[in-house]
Amino acid sequence: MAVNLANYRQVLSTIEPYHARLVAVSKIKPVQDIRALYDAGQRIFGENYVQEMVDKENQLPKDIQWHFIGHLQSNKVKYIAPFVSMIHGVDSLKLLQEINKQAAKNGRVIDCLLQVFIATEETKFGLDEAELYGVLDGAKELQHVRIAGLMGMASNTDDEARIRAEFRTLKTLHAAVAEKYFAGSGTFKELSTGMSGDYPIALEEGSTLVRIGSLLFGARNYA
């Protein structure tokens, strides 16, 4: 069996005391693997590619909550707007405006997380602090998106102290934004941090949504 149910249970018991939720990252993996984890009780799945998510949504049970965690292009928002549950990687006002427009067309309000650049690598997407405040200002007039929190990816390194510091930076920023923009509303509560290699640290640093793929589904083979 391709899905590692022992790891699944281990992840669930690790996140449980933190009241965090698991996004099972199923990119590249077949629908049978998603079905196996669904049958074990998992309902939130994360995908990185629009066409792949649309295809899988068509073939799988309707009570799955699909989280888009990849880099989303504005011209593709329309394909996922009818069903997507949360979009994690929003990194521009232009993209947020397009999500708002497509959500309105579908009579929906779509939960979005703003992606912040926290790693010390060049390769990761995301907003810096000034850009983040720009997007938050622009988002005030958008009625069909709900800014539910922040998302970030730590550096790909073995240096735990560095990973922890990056997650902590994001948590501090999250608290500042919650106070300044969402005071009292309680709607800005999500912190999407942590992957297979670093999720225990992310949980200690306030993660509410861990995005875990290879621990559950095995290593990805892109060949």
Ligand X SMILES: *Cc1c(COP(=O)(O)O)cnc(C)c1O
Residues in contact with ligand X by the rule CB under 6 A: 25, 27, 48, 69, 195-197, 211-215
Q: Which residues pair with 151 in a beta bridge?
A: 115, 192
Q: Which residues contact 46 (CB under 8 A, 6 or more apart)?
A: 23, 24, 25, 26, 27, 66, 67, 68, 69, 88, 211, 213
Note whether 100 and 87 are within 8 A (CB).
no
Q: Where are the alpha helices (DSSP H) in the chain?
A: 5-15, 31-39, 50-59, 77-80, 93-105, 129-139, 160-182, 199-204, 214-217
Q: Which residues pair with 70 in a beta bridge?
A: none
Residue 134 one-letter amino acid: G
Using CB positions, name the residue nearest to ligand X.
213
Nearest-angstrom CA–CA distance, 204 and 223: 35
In angstroms, give the least distance from the CB of 105 to ligand X: 26
Q: Which is nearer to ligand X, 139 or 153 (CB)?
A: 153
What minimum distance in Å lies between the beta carbon of 104 and ligand X? 26
Is the CB of 38 or the CB of 182 nearer to ligand X?
38
Nearer to ligand X, 13 or 123 (CB): 123
Residue 143 CB, nearest approach to ligand X (Å): 27
Q: Which is nearer to ligand X, 69 or 77 (CB)?
A: 69
The span from the CA of 208 to the CA of 210, in Å, is 7
Task: Pick the closer one to ligand X by CB: 33 or 142.
Answer: 33
What's the min distance (Å) between Cβ of 179 and ligand X?
Answer: 27
- CB of residue 52 vs ligand X: minimum separation in angstroms? 12
Give which of 147, 167, 145 is closest to 157, Cα–Cα. 167
Report, in Å, the least distance between residue 25 CB and ligand X: 4
> For ligand X, which is the closer residue by CB, 111 or 142?
111
